[in-house]
Amino acid sequence: MLQTIEVEIDPSGHIHPLEALSFIPSGRAYLTLLPSPDNKRLPGMAEDHSAAKALELLASPRFAQRPVAPPDEVQQRINELRNDWGDH
């Protein structure tokens, strides 16, 4: 079951829940970076990361006309790149 908890990330990268948890989190997670409370953007963060902007892109002609490769070709390319990293 998916659960969402609000956390703060300190300057050293440690994650601190904003509320007491009734469980000990373990496993995998997705991290969504929200604007900081003081409205400062993180270095390298684009101006707008809103869901509305993502939906606008998905509905755009540019997205509809993007090149699409068959899934097996994409997986083959991913595997090639992973294997290439180990060769250096």
pLDDT in tens, the chain (88 residues): 678 888 888 888 888 888 888 888 888 888 787 777 665 555 555 556 677 788 888 899 988 898 889 999 999 998 888 887 765 5
88 found inside a domain: no
Q: How many domains does the chain have?
A: 1
Instruction: Give the domain range for residue 22.
Output: 7-83
* β-bridge partners, 16: 8
68 found inside a domain: yes
48 found inside a domain: yes
Give every CB contact of residue 71 below 8 A, 6+ residues apart in sequence.
Answer: none
1 found inside a domain: no
DSSP H helical ranges for the chain: 51-58, 61-64, 71-85
Q: pTM above 0.85? A: no
55 found inside a domain: yes
